[in-house]
C-alpha cells in the first residue's frame, strides 16, 4: 500500500491538498502522465484495488456537505462478486474508482461508464482508469440534475488509456450498475426533473434525502437484462411518504431482487449500518431475498472489516437463494404487500437469540447475597444516622425519629463484637 508521503512525492507536491490540481495538469500532458504512470508501477504493481481510497478519504473528501464515504475494500469485493459477469458496467458516484476497479479486475476488456461530481476526485478517477488501460466514458457532473462539466472518452492504448474530451454524452446502457452514492444527501428537485422513470413513478424523492433519486438515475442506465447494486442507509427500507411510494413502485414492477444488511462501522467516516439493494430489470420470480449479514465482520480497532469468509457466506446464500436460519429468508410479494411495502430486515429475518435460563439454585443464591448486601448497607446507614446530631432540638428530634426507623428495620452495625446502644 502506497503511503501518503510516497503518493505526494510521485505527483510532485508537498501537501496532499495540492495533489488534485497537480494531477489534473499531468493527465492532460501525454508525456507527463506516461512518466507518472510508470513511476507508480515501479512501486505498486497490484492493480486490483484503489490505491487512493484512504488517501483521498482522509485528505480530500467532503463528508459534511457531500456525504462522501469511500467504499472499503471488503465491501467493494462483495459488491462486485454479487453482480457477477458483465460486458459493460456503470459506476454512478464513482469517487476515485474503487468499485469500478473491482469490476475491471473481473473483466479488463469490458466497457466502463463512470459519473462523479467532485472536482477533487475526478483527477484520481481518471488516473485510476487510464493507468489500467480502460475503455469507457467518464462524466464529470451532477448525477441528480444531469448537468455536466466535462465528458471524457478513454480508449485503450498499448499500455495506458488515451484521453479525449467530448462535446456530448453518448448513449450508454450497462449490464451492471454499481453505486455507493452520498447517504441522505439534500438536493433541489424540480418539476422539470419529473421525466423518464420519475414520470412513471409520479413522485420525486424528498428534498432532504436523495437516496432514491440516485437509485432511479442508476436504474435508467441499466440494460434490459441488467442488474443494479446500491449501497444505501437502512432508512430507504422503511421511510414513508414519497420514498414509500417509490419503494412500492419498484416492488410492484418486480425490480427488487434482494436486500442484504451489512455490519455497522465498516466505513471510515460513519458508523451507521448500511444495506445492499439488488435490482434486476427482468426477473422470473416475484419474491425477495432478505439477508441479515450485520454480524459478518472482524473487529479491528474502531472499525469492522468484511473479509473473505464473510463475503463467501453472503455470496453463497445470494447465488443459491437459500433460506438459512437467523441469516436469510425468501419473502413473497404478498407478504411484503401485507407489510405496506416496508422492507425493514428484522420484519422478515428473525435473529432473536433467547437468553440462557439460569439454574434456580444460582438465582436463589444471588437473591440471598443481594439480601445480605441490602442488610449490611442498611445497618451502615442506621449507624451513621444514629451518630448524627441536629443544629437545634427540633432538628435533633427529627433525626432521631428517622434513625429509629432504620434501626428498627435493620439494627445497627456492630463494633468490636458489641451492639451500639439504641436510642
Q: What is the DSSP string of 405-417?
A: HHHHHH----BTT
d(CA 56, CA 126): 14
Q: Please, are residues 375 and 410 in contact by the beta-carbon 8 Å criterion? A: yes
- How large is the average pLDDT for residues 275-304? 94
Q: How is the chain split into domains, by residue range? A: 4-347, 360-410
- Which band of pLDDT confidence, cut at 50, 70 and 90, is reported for residue 338? very high
Cα dihedral 134, 151, 72, 317 sign: negative
pTM above the 0.85 mark?
A: no
Give Dmax over CA atoms of the chain in angstroms: 103
Nearest to 74 by CA among 233, 298, 317, 316: 298
Question: Burial level of 322, CB count in 10 A (0-12/13-18/19+)?
Answer: middle
Helices 308-320 and 73-83: angle between axes, nearest 10 degrees: 20
DSSP codes joined into one string, 109-133: TSEEEEEE--TTHHHHHHHHHHHTT
d(CA 148, CA 3): 33
The least confident of 31-35, 180-184, 213-217 is 180-184
Q: Residue 195 carries which DSSP code?
A: -
The CATH H-level (homologous superfamily) assignment of domain 4-347 is Vaccinia Virus protein VP39 (3.40.50.150)
Q: How many CA atoms lie within 13 A of 370 on its CB side?
A: 6
d(CA 146, CA 90): 15
Nearest to 297 by CA among 308, 282, 287: 308
User: Within 10 Å of residue 176's Cβ, how many Cβ atoms?
Assistant: 27
Predicted confidence (pLDDT) at residue 353 exceeds the cutoff of 80 = no
User: Within 10 Å of residue 255's Cβ, how many Cβ atoms?
Assistant: 19
The listed range with the strongest mean pLDDT (69-83, 243-257, 262-276, 288-302) is 243-257
Grid cell digits, residue 193: 426533473
Predicted confidence (pLDDT) at residue 278 exceeds the cutoff of 50 = yes
**Cell numbers 478517477: residue:** 125
- How large is the average pLDDT for residues 263-284? 90
d(CA 28, CA 9): 19
Predicted confidence (pLDDT) at residue 358 exceeds the cutoff of 50 = yes
Predicted confidence (pLDDT) at residue 357 exceeds the cutoff of 80 = no
d(CA 296, CA 22): 40
Percent pLDDT > 90 in the chain is: 71
Instruction: Output the 3-class SS for 249-315.
Output: HHHHCCCEEEEEECCCCCCCCCCCCEEEEEEECCCCCCCEEEEECCCCCEEECCEEECCHHHHHHHH
Q: Please, are residues 50 and 128 in contact by the beta-carbon 8 Å criterion? A: yes
Q: Please, are residues 138 and 154 in contact by the beta-carbon 8 Å criterion? A: yes
Percent pLDDT > 70 in the chain is: 94
Which SS3 state, helix, strand or coil, does residue 227 take? strand
pLDDT at 69: 57
CA distances from 246 to 62, 242, 356 (A): 28, 6, 43
d(CA 34, CA 45): 15
User: Within 10 Å of residue 18's Cβ, how many Cβ atoms?
Assistant: 13
Predicted confidence (pLDDT) at residue 348 exceeds the cutoff of 90 = yes
Q: Please, are residues 179 and 228 in contact by the beta-carbon 8 Å criterion? A: yes
pLDDT at 253: 97
Predicted confidence (pLDDT) at residue 274 exceeds the cutoff of 80 = yes
364-382 pLDDT, tens digit each: 888 899 988 888 888 888 8
User: Within 10 Å of residue 306's Cβ, how many Cβ atoms?
Assistant: 22
pLDDT at 403: 83
Amino acid at each position: 500500500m502506497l503511503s501518503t508521503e510516497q503518493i505526494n512525492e510521485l505527483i510532485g507536491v508537498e501537501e496532499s491538498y495540492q495533489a488534485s490540481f497537480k494531477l489534473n495538469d499531468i493527465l492532460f500532458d501525454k508525456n507527463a502522465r506516461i512518466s507518472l504512470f510508470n513511476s507508480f508501477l515501479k512501486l505498486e504493481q497490484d492493480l486490483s484495488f484503489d490505491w487512493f481510497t484512504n488517501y483521498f478519504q482522509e485528505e480530500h473528501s467532503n463528508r459534511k456537505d457531500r456525504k462522501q464515504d469511500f467504499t472499503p475494500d471488503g465491501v467493494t469485493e462483495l459488491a462486485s462478486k454479487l453482480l457477477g459477469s458483465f460486458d459493460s458496467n456503470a459506476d454512478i458516484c464513482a469517487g476515485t474508482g474503487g468499485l469500478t476497479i473491482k469490476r475491471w479486475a473481473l473483466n479488463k476488456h469490458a466497457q466502463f461508464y463512470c459519473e462523479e461530481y467532485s472536482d477533487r476526485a475526478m483527477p484520481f478517477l481518471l488516473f485510476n482508469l487510464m493507468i489500467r488501460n480502460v475503455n469507457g466514458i467518464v462524466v464529470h457532473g451532477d448525477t441528480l440534475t444531469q448537468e455536466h462539466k466535462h465528458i471524457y472518452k478513454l480508449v485503450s492504448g498499448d499500455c495506458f488509456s488515451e484521453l479525449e474530451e467530448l462535446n456530448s454524452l453518448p448513449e450508454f446502457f450497462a449490464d451492471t450498475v454499481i453505486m455507493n452514492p452520498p447517504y441522505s444527501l439534500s438536493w433541489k428537485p424540480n418539476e422539470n426533473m419529473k421525466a423518464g422513470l420519475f414520470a412513471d413513478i409520479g413522485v420525486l424523492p424528498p428534498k432532504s434525502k436523495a437516496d432514491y433519486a440516485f437509485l432511479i438515475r442508476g436504474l435508467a442506465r441499466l440494460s434490459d437484462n441488467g442488474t443494479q447494486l446500491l449501497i444505501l442507509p437502512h432508512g430507504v427500507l422503511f421511510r414513508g411518504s414519497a420514498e414509500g411510494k417509490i419503494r412500492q413502485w419498484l416492488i410492484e414492477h418486480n425490480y427488487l431482487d434482494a436486500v442484504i444488511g451489512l455490519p455497522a462501522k465498516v466505513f471510515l467516516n460513519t458508523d451507521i449500518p448500511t444495506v445492499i439493494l439488488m435490482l434486476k430489470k427482468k426477473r422470473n420470480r416475484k419474491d425477495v431475498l432478505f439477508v441479515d449479514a450485520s454480524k459478518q465482520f472482524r473487529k479491528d480497532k474502531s472499525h469492522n472489516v468484511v473479509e473473505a469468509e464473510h463475503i463467501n457466506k453472503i455470496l453463497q446464500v445470494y447465488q443459491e437463494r437459500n433460506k438459512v436460519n437467523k441469516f436469510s429468508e425468501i419473502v413473497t410479494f404478498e407478504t411484503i404487500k401485507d407489510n405496506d411495502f416496508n422492507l425493514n430486515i428484522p420484519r422478515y429475518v428473525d435473529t432473536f437469540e433467547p437468553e440462557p435460563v439460569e439454574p434456580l439454585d444460582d438465582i436463589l443464591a444471588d437473591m440471598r447475597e443481594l439480601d445480605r448486601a441490602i442488610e449490611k448497607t442498611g445497618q451502615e446507614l442506621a449507624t451513621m444516622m444514629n451518630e448524627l446530631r441536629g443544629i437545634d432540638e427540633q432538628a435533633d428530634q427529627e433525626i432521631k425519629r428517622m434513625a429509629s426507623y432504620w434501626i428498627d428495620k435493620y439494627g445497627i452495625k456492630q463494633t468490636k463484637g458489641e451492639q451500639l446502644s439504641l436510642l
